Amino acid sequence: MARGGGLVFEELPARAAELAGLRIHRALPRRGRRMVGAWCFLDRYGPLSFTREKPMDVGAHPHIGLQTFSWLVEGEIVHNDSLGCEGLIRPGEVSLMTAGPGIAHSEETPRENTGRLHGVQLWVALPEAERGRAASYRHYRETPALELAGGVVRVMAGETLGARSELEMYSELVGLDIEVHAGGRVEIPARRDFEYAALPLKGGVELGGERLNLDSLYYLGMGRDSIRLGSRGGGRVLLIGGAPFEEPVVMWWNFVARTAEEIRAAREDWEQRRRFGEIPGFRGERIGAPAYGARPVDQR
């Protein structure tokens, strides 16, 4: 998909929003760019410092048709779900919840914490052949970290430079957290049949010689052989990619489906307390679904 012989390099400023009082930057989905491979949602929050507050306080809410993927640069989050699973996630760990036909969960800052919070949440659309599989939750404590001369590459999902993440995912994709040392360069081999996007996490990073702005997503298209990163003062960037997702997807609120009818049924089941179950480890509030057709403000 090279344009005029060159490669795609498109800056897409993220949209600032609030999620249960937490300021977030939503990079995906957005007008004109809904997905990158099977990745269909990307929020970044922080970095922030806090004392007695509870910056992450997302009450019980449902999901269908996707996997939620949480990754922290700093701080911690407690996940509880309707399967009875609890996970305390820290930097370097992945919280992966597969919604299948339906699951409910909550995400909160734990009482004991470092007073810092900085991270991302991503969603991955499940392909048709897998979206009916039973809901599940897994907390992965280890992520391959490749120490290179120019930086550190953490393989959150998929495979790169001979290192493979253990995550059970159902589309061909990759997710990397790339730290570039001050004055360092990192080159990541790319697949020509994957589309890619980069989101800076901190510091100043250059991609293919272009300086990246924080709070913008950079869509990099397909047909690349490699992705080259550099930094003068040090920085960190999230790189996602995958084979373009060919199935038509309907996304609304916390649901990923194929038809409006499926979305309406999921919404109704959540409102009527069917299908999704209760969360045994959670004492807080249950988030009501917006009216169908309304702007899905609190999408998470």
Name which of residues 219 to 238 contact Mn ion (CB under 5 A). Answer: none
Q: Which of these ranges, 21-29, 161-169, 183-191, 292-300, lies near Mn ion under the rule CB under 5 A?
A: 292-300
Q: Tell me how far CA of residue 149 lies from CA of 187, 242, 282, in angstroms.
A: 11, 26, 44
Neighbours of 26 (CB within 10 A): 17
> Total residues at the site for Mn ion (CB under 5 A)?
1
Neighbours of 92 (CB within 10 A): 16
Q: Which DSSP helix (H) or strand (E) runs through 85?
A: none
Minimum CB distance to Mn ion, residue 94 (Å): 15
Looking at the Cβ atoms of 191 and 300, the one nearer to Mn ion is 300
Minimum CB distance to Mn ion, residue 284 (Å): 14
Minimum CB distance to Mn ion, residue 106 (Å): 8
Minimum CB distance to Mn ion, residue 107 (Å): 6
Contact pattern for Mn ion over residues 241 through 280, marking x by CB under 5 A:
----------------------------------------
The DSSP annotation for 210-266 comes to EEPPTTEEEEEES--SEEEEE-SS-EEEEEEEES---S--EEETTEEESSHHHHHHH
Residue 219 CA to residue 39 CA, distance in Å, equals: 13
Contact pattern for Mn ion over residues 156 through 185, marking x by CB under 5 A:
------------------------------
Minimum CB distance to Mn ion, residue 78 (Å): 13
Question: Which positions ≥6 away from 124 have C-beta within 8 Å?
Answer: 38, 39, 40, 66, 67, 69, 169, 170, 171, 173
Minimum CB distance to Mn ion, residue 102 (Å): 12
Q: Does 300 bind Mn ion (CB under 5 A)?
A: yes
Q: Does 79 bind Mn ion (CB under 5 A)?
A: no
Tell me which residues touch Mn ion (CB under 5 A). 300
